[in-house]
């Protein structure tokens, strides 16, 4: 084969690969269903905030609890299904920034992501927790999609005894839908 024939063959091979890849992308997009679920990449990177936190390893091969970052991740994934997060995260329930999120009042902080190995429709579902005596004291759970932010709950050992409120009244002042 001369150089010109090799170049032409290479171009045809690359064009074929691109076309086959585009066909597969369209097929997998159809399989995913709703556009919100299609557009978000799977992201298992550590949360960027709080910067000095100890991050949970994923998947959290641990029992649900408050004794390690992995246990908190397991607990919150059991407590909040992906469907529950989607049900909560409507535009009217975005967080009103006039209201405080959990204040970090302990030297040790844990953090993690939920469902980072699954398509959720969000950029991330993250949590962070204050730590006292080697246990999570309080946690904050939030979901993010582009510029939108939902504070799903601030909780502790006592609050997890009840199911989460996945459909609170969006007219509450701590949501933007209250106006």
pLDDT in tens, the chain (179 residues): 555 444 444 433 443 333 334 343 333 333 334 444 443 456 788 887 898 899 999 887 899 999 999 999 999 999 999 999 999 999 999 999 999 999 999 999 999 999 989 999 999 999 999 999 999 999 999 999 999 999 999 999 999 999 999 999 999 999 998 66
Q: What is the pLDDT of residue 26?
A: 36
Q: What is the pLDDT of residues 135-149, one digit of tens each?
A: 999 999 999 999 999
Task: Identify any residues that bridge with 141 across adjacent strands, giving them in sequence order.
Answer: 127, 153
CB atoms near residue 134 (< 10 Å): 9
Nearest to 145 by CA among 43, 74, 33: 43
Instruction: Report pTM.
Output: 0.76
Domain ranges (residues) in the chain: 1-32, 34-178
Task: Give the list of residues 6+ apart from residue 95 with CB closer than 8 angstroms, or none.
Answer: 101, 142, 149, 150, 151, 174, 175, 176
Backbone angles phi, psi at 27, to 5 degrees: -65, -45
């Amino acid at each position: 084969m001369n150089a010109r024939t090799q170049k032409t063959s290479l171009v045809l091979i690359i064009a074929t690969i691109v076309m086959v890849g585009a066909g597969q992308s369209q097929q997998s997009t159809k399989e995913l269903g709703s556009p919100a679920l299609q557009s978000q990449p799977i992201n298992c990177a550590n949360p960027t905030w709080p910067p000095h936190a100890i991050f949970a390893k994923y998947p959290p091969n641990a029992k649900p609890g408050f004794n390690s970052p992995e246990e908190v991740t397991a607990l919150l994934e059991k407590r909040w299904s992906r469907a529950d997060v989607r049900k909560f995260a409507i535009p009217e329930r975005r967080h009103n920034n006039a209201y405080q999120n959990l204040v970090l009042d302990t030297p040790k902080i844990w953090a993690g992501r939920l469902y980072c190995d699954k398509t959720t429709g969000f950029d991330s579902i993250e949590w962070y927790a204050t730590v006292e005596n080697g246990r999570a004291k309080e946690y904050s759970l939030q979901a993010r999609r582009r510029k939108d932010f939902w504070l799903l709950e601030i909780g502790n050992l006592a609050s997890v005894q009840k199911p989460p409120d996945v459909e609170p009244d969006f007219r509450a002042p701590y949501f933007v839908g209250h106006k």
